[in-house]
A and B are shown apart, each in its own frame.
Chain A
């Protein structure tokens, strides 16, 4: 099963490389902050699974969860323009930050993994991304939505964040010694991750320059 890790890393790097290659398309939008985030995700995974393996540095994973969750929430919030939705997104960011802070205080960040704050943040990310979809539906601009990079990125992260809590809870709460079960769940997680980063990588390729995203009628 180890080779699956390499495939996951391949997809994560593919997403980061795709974001770098097509940077011109979105450099003037808040999506530019996605580039360092994607590189961070890929490098962190590479460091944890290849460079530092077999030791498990829980603090690296914990930092990773905080940065990715808050990063995604902030990037999504930057894509919103309606004041009410912005206010809701701000509240989501604050809730997520508080949850991570409480976990950092109550748990040992060097040993424990922030199950509840991460699950909560995952739900908050889903809500934030839904706000973005609502904003797109309510806008009175003719958007070429199939060419919207952030929409593809949103769908990618939605695939991951919808399936990940189930995977995580099944790991943490269904205590069993079965290797088969863990491997099967890992396989599901693997599929979710490659679907997520595959969609993101494709989104950067498929998306168009932000200036041409809104259709103009001549």
Chain B
């Protein structure tokens, strides 16, 4: 009788242990599931927030770019086209009816028209969308050449890689910002742009022979140009580096590696 009772207790113990082990395993699975789900949700939330932040920054940058473009147009109209038209006006006023003077005035007006067309092309986002980065840069540098601001050069090495149009526009705007700074402040006579395409990276080097600047001093002044360049570079996940000393010109190096967003 006692033996049977012991056997029963043993059997019951085995059943209890087996069920307990299985239920403990279930608890472990549920806890692990809960932990992983929590972690997954946190990661997804972070990803979603980063995406939203990126979209917001893109939108802000686009507004900034638009405002800056308007400033550039105003500058171009006043300093460039405005000057040409003023010259044309003076030429027509002083021509005295001679054909040669009229031709000169017509040539000046023609120059003004060419500038308006080039400007229109460069500020039109649709026109820019249909152009590759080298094409847009070429157009911009040709304009500088025509306006005799300085002597630009463009060198392209390697086969252009596929870059998202939005990113390409931002890269172009970064370079445009640098060109504007060069023309406005550097007193440079040469501007060399070098595009180097590697299998998965784009390296852009822009070098001028102007007066240069002290980076730390410029940063301390919180210059909008530098801030814009750095913000946009960060936004697209690129890196930017300046080499400049007072009296030694400035070199900007930008590296961009396309990555899936």
Contact = CB atoms under 8 A, between A and B. Distances in A.
Contacts of B29: 133
Contact of B15 (A142, A158, A166, A180): A166
Interface stretch (B34-42, B78-86, B161-169, B211-219): B34-42
A105 interface: no
Interface in A117-156: 133, 136-137, 140-143, 145-146, 155
A170 B7 CA distance: 13
B19 A192 contact: yes
Contacts of B56: none
B156 interface: no
Nearest to A133: B33
B41 A188 contact: no
Task: Give the residue among B5, B44, B45, B52 with the most A Cβ atoms within 10 A.
Answer: B44
Contacts, number: 71
A185 B44 CA distance: 45
B12 A185 contact: yes
A59 interface: no
B194 to A, nearest CB: 41
B106 interface: no
B12 A217 contact: no
A159 B37 contact: no
Contact of B37 (A136, A167, A185): A136
A163 B11 contact: no
B55 interface: no
**Which range holds the interface residue count of chain A?**
20 to 34
B49 interface: yes
A174 interface: yes
A141 B45 CA distance: 9
A174 B9 CA distance: 12
Contacts of A137: 33, 36-37, 40
Contacts of B11: 170, 174, 176, 181
B23 A159 contact: yes
Interface in B6-26: 7-8, 11-12, 14-16, 18-19, 22-23, 25-26
A133 B33 CA distance: 8
Interface string A176-198: 10101100110010001000000
Interface of B: 4-5, 7-8, 11-12, 14-16, 18-19, 22-23, 25-26, 29-30, 33-34, 36-37, 40-41, 44-45, 48-49, 52
Interface of A: 133, 136-137, 140-143, 145-146, 155, 158-159, 162-163, 166-167, 170, 174, 176, 178, 180-181, 184-185, 188, 192, 215, 217
28 contacts: A133-B29, A136-B33, A136-B37, A141-B44, A142-B41, A143-B41, A145-B41, A155-B26, A155-B30, A159-B23, A162-B22, A162-B23, A162-B25, A163-B19, A166-B15, A166-B19, A170-B11, A170-B15, A174-B11, A176-B4, A178-B7, A180-B8, A180-B12, A181-B8, A181-B11, A185-B15, A188-B15, A188-B19
